[in-house]
Amino acid sequence: MADLNTNTTTTTTDGADGTQTEGLQNQNNSNEPKTYTQEEVLELLQRETDKRVTEALKKQQKKHDKQLSLSKLDGDEREKAEKDNRIAELEEQLAQFTIAQNKSELKSVLSSRGLSAEFADIITITDDLEASQANIDKLDKLFKGAVKAEVERRLAGKAPKGNGNTNTAELTKESAKKLSIAELNKLAETQPELFNKLFN
């Protein structure tokens, strides 16, 4: 199953050399936080800003082109073109509203199936609710199949260790070296004589 990466922002800290780094924790198999330099953070912000400015410029250019084309028309033609433009805008708004409603409906369907409602952001949602439902069926089948396969793979692997209790009667120097730090700390606290015997 592919790892799903989710990023959560941590606090900004000053590095030893005086530079600021922004920590983003990448929650996949490794729990190591990924840190970015100040330049990398500024570059990411600049990319996002450029993207938004480009979108705004395209929208403004489209509006300007419409007004320019309308200015070349005479009174009756301009009035008809303005009505057509307004109808097209209303149809686009209605389509966006329908998609928003479908997304809300699909989120409740996902929740009722035991899936995260955030999958609605991944699924392509159109004004055709039935096509979106088919996408959910496909996602549900694939996701649950992948989870089942991963569970079976893990169950076929090593048996889980005990609940952290160590059998001190069978503890030797070799087996003590294999204990986790938490288990060693517990052994040092509960049986300091045995700990000293093994490690001193």
- Per domain, the residue ranges of the chain are 73-156
Inter-residue contact 106 to 132 (CB < 8 Å): yes
Give the chain's residues under pLDDT 50: 1-29, 162-164, 166
Give pLDDT, residue 51: 92
Angle between helices 75-112 and 129-156 (to 10 degrees): 30
Beta strand ranges found along the chain (DSSP E): 7-14, 20-26, 33-37
Report how far residue 81's alpha carbon sits from residue 69's, in angstroms, rounded to the nearest whole number. Answer: 9
Report how far residue 163's alpha carbon sits from residue 160's, in angstroms, rounded to the nearest whole number. Answer: 9
Give pLDDT, residue 53: 94
Give pLDDT, residue 12: 45
Report how far residue 37's alpha carbon sits from residue 60's, in angstroms, rounded to the nearest whole number. Answer: 35
The answer for residues whose C-beta is within 8 angstroms of residue 9's C-beta and 6 or more apart is 22, 23, 24
pTM reported for the whole predicted model: 0.39
Tens-digit pLDDT profile for residues 40-54: 889 989 999 999 999
